[in-house]
Structure formats: structure tokens, C-alpha cells
């Protein structure tokens, strides 16, 4: 079974770029040469995008390989496959990692039990709104949106894992 997804490096210091490529190559099992471009939202930083194909769970493995580096902002998505939900991992230096299950159109899906817990533990409408914002990753979206816009028009390249 094969999964597909996209790695968006929203901003990275130039010195980290080769290390990012090596880390992603180590997960995918094939050489990686990302198409680096300047990131207008963070002068002096670079951005890149890579569409990949690999085993289910590859997005989590890529996230684990990259999440230890501060000053790096990225997102990794993995489309749903038979028996596996889609997923989105977002990382920022200030917030760390956010992971969410996603539907076919990319929307975040919140399991019923988590919604029930949010309702049970939120004594006010304000507290419920705050908890729902947390479950939806609002803080990550707010921090990454300016960097996502910097990636408009970036070329898309496919890379297929071999294992």
C-alpha cells in the first residue's frame, strides 16, 4: 500500500537546507534535492515544497525527523489511504508540533470523544471556543499563514519512495 503527501518547508535558514534534504532522504529512502526559493515572509530564509509517495505513516516519520530543529517552519500532509486516515503535521519554533486527522478535502476531523470532552470541560462559551481553537490548530494556522502565502506559485515535484 502506498500513501501520498506534500512536505512544505515554509521557512528554513540556508545552513539547515542540506540537513533537511538528508533527513527527508533518510525517511523516503531516495535522494532528495529540494527546489529552494527565497521566503519573502522571512528575509534570509528559504522555502521548498516536495510531493512524495511512500508507506502510510511517512508524514509522521518526516515530522519526527525535522521537528527537533528550531528556526524551521514546516507542514507535512499525508492523504488518506484504504484503512488509514489522512493527517497533517504542522511545526513552528514557538508552538512545536500540531497533528490532526484530515478528511479527503483537507479539513481537520475531530473525533466525537474529543468534542464531548471539550464540551464537558468547558464551563463557558469562551472556554469552549478556546478549546475548539486548540483542537483545530488555530494558533499554528495563524503563525503559518503568512509563510504559506510566500509559497504561492512554488513548483511542485513528485518523489517516490523505494521501500
160 has pLDDT over 80 = no
Span 107-134, average pLDDT = 91
Span 91-110, average pLDDT = 92
156 has pLDDT over 50 = no
Domain ranges for the chain, please list them: 3-109+138-160
Angstrom CA distances, 86 to 11, 36, 60, 80, stand at: 24, 26, 11, 4
Span 113-130, average pLDDT = 91
CA distance 16 to 123: 45
118 has pLDDT over 80 = yes
CA distance 162 to 61: 15
| pLDDT tens profile 130-139 | 999 999 999 9
Span 109-126, average pLDDT = 91
162 has pLDDT over 90 = no
Looking at residue 150, its pLDDT comes to: 59
Nearest to 48 by CA among 58, 38, 59, 61: 38
Span 99-118, average pLDDT = 90
Nearest to 96 by CA among 56, 137, 124: 137
Higher pLDDT: 161 or 58? It is 58
| pLDDT tens profile 22-77 | 999 999 999 999 999 999 999 999 999 999 999 999 999 999 999 988 899 999 99
Amino acid at each position: 500500500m502506498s500513501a501520498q503527501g506534500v512536505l512544505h518547508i515554509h521557512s528554513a535558514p540556508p545552513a539547515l537546507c542540506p540537513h533537511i534534504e538528508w533527513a527527508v532522504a533518510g525517511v523516503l529512502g531516495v535522494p532528495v534535492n529540494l527546489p529552494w526559493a527565497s521566503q519573502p515572509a522571512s528575509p534570509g530564509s528559504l522555502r521548498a515544497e516536495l510531493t512524495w509517495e511512500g508507506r502510510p505513516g511517512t508524514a509522521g516519520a518526516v515530522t519526527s525527523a525535522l521537528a527537533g530543529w528550531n528556526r524551521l517552519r514546516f507542514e507535512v500532509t499525508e492523504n488518506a489511504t484504504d484503512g488509514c486516515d489522512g493527517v497533517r503535521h504542522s511545526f513552528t519554533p514557538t508552538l512545536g508540533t500540531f497533528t490532526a486527522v484530515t478528511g479527503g478535502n483537507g479539513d481537520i476531523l475531530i473525533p466525537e470523544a474529543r468534542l464531548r470532552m471539550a464540551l464537558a470541560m468547558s464551563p463557558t462559551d469562551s472556554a469552549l471556543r478556546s478549546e475548539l481553537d486548540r483542537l483545530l490548530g488555530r494558533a499554528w494556522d495563524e503563525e503559518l499563514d503568512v509563510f504559506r502565502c510566500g509559497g504561492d506559485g512554488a513548483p511542485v515535484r513528485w518523489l517516490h519512495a523505494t521501500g
